[in-house]
Structure formats: C-alpha cells, structure tokens
Structure 1
Amino acid sequence: MNQPNSSATQNQQVLDALARCIAACEMCATACLHEDDIKMMVPCIRLDRDCADICRLTHAFIARGSDHAQHVLKECIEICQKCADECGQHQHEHCQQCAEACRACVEACKAYQK
C-alpha cells in the first residue's frame, strides 16, 4: 500500500518542479527581451523557450501516465541542463532564478527516472 502513495508523491514532486521551471523560463525570456543588449541574450531566450516547451510536454506526459514519459524525460533533462548553464552565465536576477529552477528540475527529473 505504500507504493501508490510514494509514487503519487514522486509524481507530484516532479510535476511541481516542471511547473516552476516553465514559469521561470517564461519570465526569464520575457525579461531578457527588455535588456539593453538583446543580441547578447538571444541564446538565453531561445533556450528559455525550448526549456519551457519541453517541460510542458514532459509535465503532460507524466500527468497522463504516458508510456513515452521516460523518453521525453531524457530530453527534458538535457535541455534544462543547457538552459541552466546558459542562464547561469548571466548576472541578471531573472537569469539566476531561471538557472536555479532549471537545476532543480533536472534533479527532480533524474530522481523520477530511478
């Protein structure tokens, strides 16, 4: 009887991390558009958008119990890590918050894979 509860808790933890990552990436991309040197922020904006999209897809697959969730999860981990690395290079508060959310998402997704 403990298995369903621990599984439900694990599902909720990864779903929460994915949702936080989506929000952080969307906010970061929007804030980057208002920076003085937008050209320098293009790689960050692109990764923010990619990361938010893969997190949305992963969230949906996990929430519905898709047989393909594990495959999508691998891509999510890869893109979130790249986004964390990119955002972590910038000193803007929104980038640092995004990098933190992405790193937390990577950890939650890896824990969910096990």
Structure 2
Amino acid sequence: MHQMSSEMQHCIEECLRCYQTCLGMASNHCLPAGGKHVQPEHFRLMMACAEICRTSAHFMLIGLPEHKHTCRACADVCEACAKSCEQVGDMQDCVETCRRCAESCRTMAA
C-alpha cells in the first residue's frame, strides 16, 4: 500500500468538500431560487464541477498517476464555477470552496 502524501490527502478532502458543496447548492439553493440560478450555463457548470471533483478524488484515492490530468481539469472547472457563482451572487460558500479546491488541484497537477 502506497503512503499518501498529506498534500494529496488535503486535495482529496477539498475535492470531496467541493463535490458536496456544488451538488448541494445546485439542488437545495439554485433550483428553489430559480431565475439566474438555474440558467443552463451556470447550472451545468455546477453539475460539471461536482462531477470532476468527485472524479479527481476517486483517481487520487485509487492511486492513479493520471490524477494529474483530472486535477488539472478540476482546477479549470472549479475556477470557472467560482466565477459563475460569483456573477450569479448569493453563493459565497460555493465561490470559496471552488477556489480552495482549484488551488489544491493545481498543486497536485504540477
């Protein structure tokens, strides 16, 4: 069994937190709020962000070296999601969680 670095452990936690935040906010905040919260581009980005975060965590947990690729993609999608959530407004939790995850993923992708 390979020893996981604390940096990777931290990234897995950030990814899972972001997955939970994006999916939870999309379902429990954006859907009921309606309007700009459910514009297709924004809503799809939140769904994509949740999924790439889940996938990146999965790749790191099973120890695939290809996690560098998923982490790079994850950082990009998280950044885009943070920007979108910022524009929609009233989504600070999501903005901050996505930015933290993006930062952590960029470190893992390096």
Pick the TM interval, shorter chain: 0.7 to 0.9
- Structure 1 residues 55 and 36: alpha-carbon distance in aligned structure 2, compared to 1, 3 A threshold: closer
Equivalent residue runs for 1:30-109 within 5 Å = 30=27, 31-37=29-35, 41-92=39-90, 95-109=91-105
Q: What's the counterpart of residue 11 of structure 2?
A: 14
Larger Rg: 1
Between Structure 1 and Structure 2, how many residues are aligned?
A: 107
SS in 1 for 2:88: coil
Please give the alpha-carbon distance, in whole angstroms, between the structure 2 residues aligned to 1:99 and 1:20: 12
Unaligned runs of 5+ in 1: none
TM-score, normalising length from structure 1?
Answer: 0.84
- Structure 1 residues 15 and 43: alpha-carbon distance in aligned structure 2, compared to 1, 3 A threshold: same
- Structure 1 residues 51 and 40: alpha-carbon distance in aligned structure 2, compared to 1, 3 A threshold: closer
Residues 79 and 98, structure 2, Cα contact 8 Å, conserved in 1: yes
Please give the alpha-carbon distance, in whole angstroms, between the structure 2 residues aligned to 1:32 and 1:19: 20
Please give the alpha-carbon distance, in whole angstroms, between the structure 2 residues aligned to 1:107 and 1:48: 17
Displacement after TM superposition at 1:42 (Å): 2.9
- Structure 1 residues 19 and 39: alpha-carbon distance in aligned structure 2, compared to 1, 3 A threshold: closer
Please give the alpha-carbon distance, in whole angstroms, between the structure 1 residues aligned to 2:12 and 2:100: 12
Across the aligned residues of Structure 1 and Structure 2, the Cα RMSD in angstroms comes to 1.7
Quote the sequence identity (%): 29
Which has the higher mean CA deviation after the structures are superposed, 63-72 or 79-88?
A: 63-72
Unaligned runs of 5+ in 2: none
